Every structure is written in C-alpha cells, then in structure tokens.
Structure 1
Amino acid sequence: MAAKTLNDLFVHALSDIYSAEKQLTKALKKQARASMSTKLKEAFETHLEETHGQIERIDQAVEATGIKLKRIKCVAMEGLIEEADEEIGEIEVGPVLDAALIGAAQKVEHYEIASYGTLCALAKKLGYTQAMTLLNQTLEEEKATDKKLTILAEQEVSAETAGAKV
C-alpha cells in the first residue's frame, strides 16, 4: 500500500475491513457449528446477520463517498480466522472449545473495533459525514457484540469449564 493522502489511507482501510467482513461471514458459520453452547451458537448466528448489514453499510459508505474499493485480502482477519480454525481442529467439542471460540471471537471484535474507530476518524477528517455515520453504527455494533461475548464468557462458559480438563 502506497498511501500518499488521507483519502488513500481511508480507501485502503475501508477495502481491508470489507475483505475482513467477507471472510468473517464464512468463519462465523463454522464457529456456530463448532460450538456446543446454544447461547454461543445464537451469538454467532446473530453476529453473522449483523455482519451482512455491516457489509451493506460499507457499500453505502462507498456510494456516499464516490470512492472505489481496492481488491485486497485482509491478512489480519485471515490470521485470526486461521487461529480459530486450529482451535476447532485441536480442542474437543465442549465447554473448553466454547471458551476458546469466545476468545477468538473477541480478538476479531477488538480488531474490528480498532479498524472502524480509525475509519470513523478518517471519514470525519475527510468530511465524509454520511460515511462516518454509517461506519460509527458498525463500530457501536462491534462494541456491543464484544460486551455480549464477555457476558457469555463470564456467565455460561466459565461455570461449565471450571471442572473441564484442559
């Protein structure tokens, strides 16, 4: 990436998170299937629906700004998904895997929170008011998902994994 302007940086960051969200749609399905907890499955399925809406918001932000996304692959998301896939392959289905999946999901949320926070700041600086509003909606959704995952970890999974073998 050879960004020379803030707009170049915005286009790159938006292209990157677009790739990340697209990758995540596939990963969330797999993570939902791998989890034992009904509440965790539901959380993954809910976030999948939200992710589709977030992709639509990116499309709307692109339209509002008149920019063109670059075809890039988000290697950060690729790595986070690969890490979760390894856990799915190595940990027996049960409460320990559910705890690992929550941790993996929160890593994703933190990456997305950082990405959308940066995008909101860039959109504001560039005067992309409509894009900033759309991206901020997604930022707030990501923060809410992170909080829901924390509650799941504290209430449901922690009690189940306390006696589980690691």
Structure 2
Amino acid sequence: MTENVIKACRFEHGCSRRFWLESETADEAASGRSSTPNTTGSGDVQQRGLIQGIHIFPTPARRLTMSEQFTTLHEIFTYKLGTALTMEHDSLDLLEDFEHAAMRSGLKEFFHTHASETRQQIENLHNCFVLLGEEVRRVASPAAKGLAKEAKSAIGKTADMLVDAVVLAGALEAEHYEVGVYETLLVLAKASGATGIAELLRQNLEQETAAIKHIKAAADQIAKKDAQEQASRTEEEAKMPTESDVKFLPFMPPAGT
C-alpha cells in the first residue's frame, strides 16, 4: 500500500495545520477503505475537502474565556465562522419577514428563492467547521440582529403603498454586511491555504453578490415608480378645491317669513 504523505504548514502566529495527501490504491478504493482518517463520518462532506488530492485537518482551536484574547489566526477564523453562521440563521428569519411584508409578487418570489440559497449557505458553513475539525457552533452576531431590528421597525412604520421600497432598503443593507463578512473569511482562508474551505465561502459570496445586484435593480425601479406616483398624487391634490375656494351664498330666509 502506498504510504500517505503528511505535510505541515502553519498559520501566521503559529497555528499548525496538517495536510493529508489522499493516495488510495485500487484495492483500497474497491474495498471502501481509505488510508486517510475519516473525521467527518460522511464521504460526501469529506470529498468536499479534497482540493487537488489534499484534505485539510487543522489543529483544533482552544476555547476562549471572556477574559482571553485571540492569539492565532485560526482562533479568529473559527470565531468569525461562528458569527457568520449566526448571521445566516438571522438572515433566514429576516427573509421570511421580507417575503411576508412585500406587496409585489415578484419580490415575494425573490425572497423565497434567496431563503433557499441561504439554507445552502448554512450547510456550507457547517461543512467549513467539519473541514476545520471543529465543533459546529454559533457565535453572537449583534450587527446582523441590529440590521434586522432596524429593517422590521422601518417596515412597521411604512404605509403599504411604499413598503416595498423599505423592504428592499433593509435587504440591501443586510446583504452588504453579509458580503463583508464573507470577504473577510475568504482572506483568512486563503492566507491559511485552506482551499476547500475557501471554495465553500466563495460559493456563499457569489450568491450574496448576485442578490445585491437583483435588489439594487428592483429598488431603483420601484423607487422611481413610487416617486412618480407620489408626484401624481401631489398634483391631483393640488387641483382639488379647498374650503377657502368654495363660495357660499348668503343665507336668505324663505319668502313670506
């Protein structure tokens, strides 16, 4: 049997990682045995970690207490990955609220479709944890919750005829935040050489970027239409007679009184 080749590299600041080169022989493949340790329990997930035959198994990050600081890029990356997972769960809830609040059927359909994409993004983040050899765990994401709270508050204060513009504004702000999160994670993943993880993150980033383009196009179209309708209503209201324009004849008592 061909012996596995183990290579070692390091994150900046000394976080070690191990790379196992998959080199199963034909008889191993036929028997279903692998010379690489199976840490995922799932052949499908394990295959996603194989980029050019290399499977990534990092040294698990230590757990931080409230008083401790990050000392390695691995710890920062794992923490940010946890915030991204929370962010996407919050986003899923927010997309359902947007779908319910939107008045136009096209917007409802878009938010429903993007919710399905978000579920896939959550699965991708779970697989990132698997490839890291870390327990899947969510970390608080105050920014995502703040954006959701602000969007819901604005929707509740807006009349139905203008609510779609407010829904799209909230969606655009949330999507821009998500893009920033994934761009940060990609920088860290690429710096560490975690190619398989970077690919999963890239998929999420591409979906968020595409969503922004769709939202911006819809927002531009709806804002222009709302502005035109508002101008028309204002013009019509200006033509309506006011109380001061109405002339009343003086009261004349009936004849013979």
Provide the rounded CA distance (Å) in 2 between the counterparts of 1:44 and 1:98.
12
Q: Secondary structure at the match of 1:91?
A: coil
Contact 1:14-1:69 at 8 Å conserved across structures: no
Gaps of 5+ in 2: 1-65, 234-257
Partner of 2:212: 146
The two structures, once aligned, show a CA RMSD in angstroms of 1.4
Partner of 2:109: 42
Provide the rounded CA distance (Å) in 1 between the counterparts of 2:137 and 2:170.
27
Gaps of 5+ in 1: none
2:182 aligned to which of 89, 113, 116: 116
Provide the rounded CA distance (Å) in 2 between the counterparts of 1:73 and 1:106.
21
Provide the rounded CA distance (Å) in 1 between the counterparts of 2:164 and 2:111.
11
Provide the rounded CA distance (Å) in 2 between the counterparts of 1:29 and 1:104.
13
Partner of 1:27: 94
Higher helix residue share: 1
Correspondence list, 1:32-111, <5 A: 32-94=99-161, 96-111=162-177
TM-score after normalising by structure 1: 0.92
Contact 1:106-1:146 at 8 Å conserved across structures: yes
Provide the rounded CA distance (Å) in 2 between the counterparts of 1:122 and 1:97.
38
Q: Deviations over 1:84-117 (max 9, x none)?
A: 11012111122x2111111111111110111000
TM-score after normalising by structure 2: 0.61
Contact 2:130-2:136 at 8 Å conserved across structures: no
Provide the rounded CA distance (Å) in 2 between the counterparts of 1:24 and 1:100.
16
Q: Deviations over 1:105-134 (max 9, x none)?
A: 111111011100010110111121111000
Correspondence list, 1:6-25, <5 A: 6-25=73-92
Provide the rounded CA distance (Å) in 2 between the counterparts of 1:119 and 1:112.
11
Contact 1:58-1:135 at 8 Å conserved across structures: yes
Q: Secondary structure at the match of 1:143?
A: helix
1:3 aligned to which of 58, 66, 70: 70
Aligned-residue identity in percent? 34
Structure scoring higher RCO (CA < 8 A, sep ≥ 6) equals 1
Larger Rg: 2
Higher strand residue share: 2
